[in-house]
Amino acid sequence: MTETRPPLPPFDATSAAAKARAAEDAWNSRDPVRVSLAYTPDSSWRNRAEFFSGREAIVAFLTRKWDRELEYRLIKEVWAHHQNRIAVRFAYEWRDDSGHWFRSHGNEQWEFDEAGLMRRREASINDVPITEADRKFRWPLGRRPDDHPGLSGLGL
């Protein structure tokens, strides 16, 4: 049986936004295995300067990431979509184990197979130090509440 992950391509504005929110929700769970299931078994990734493929590598990468990026909260917003591709911009806030806060801004390009699994992810990300007082993502850890503003609503 083939895995499917709706919504399926081709994407329109509504289905692309639903796909981005589903990805945001999964990443905000900080559960590497849950996140990895949205990708093809041989999914190809570029994250900053790291290149790897496959779900096992995704789990290992995300485990390392969330061991280092504490109190992680993420917002994604669709930038563009076409057929089986979606481009998103995102920001996430986190602190390191010394208590220093950061807001990381980035862009991702996603390519999906016909079953709605992501087969390619390319991410470019920049980290900006912020003070605790400058944080904008203050919901309890986990899913962003539906009434919390997105990136555009926050002026980011």
Tens-digit pLDDT profile for residues 10-60: 999 999 999 999 999 999 999 999 999 999 999 999 999 999 999 999 999
pLDDT of residue 116: 98
How much of the chain, in percent, has pLDDT values that exceed 90? 98
pLDDT of residue 34: 98
Compute the CA torsion angle 26, 118, 110, 152 (nearest 10 deg): -20
pLDDT of residue 123: 98
Q: Where are the domains of the chain?
A: 13-134
pLDDT of residue 119: 98
Span 69-88, mean pLDDT?
Answer: 98
pLDDT of residue 89: 98
114 vs 109: CA distance, rounded Å: 17
- Is residue 87 exposed (0-12), middle (13-18) or buried (19+ Cβ within 10 Å)? middle
1: confidence class by pLDDT, cuts 50, 70, 90: low
Decide if 28 contacts 144 (C-beta within 8 A): yes
Q: What is the average pLDDT value for the chain, to the nearest integer? A: 97
pLDDT in tens, 97-118: 999 999 999 999 999 999 999 9
pLDDT of residue 12: 98
- The arrangement of secondary structure in 13-134, i.e. its CATH architecture, is Roll (3.10)
HSE-CB at 65 with a 13 A cutoff on CA atoms is 21
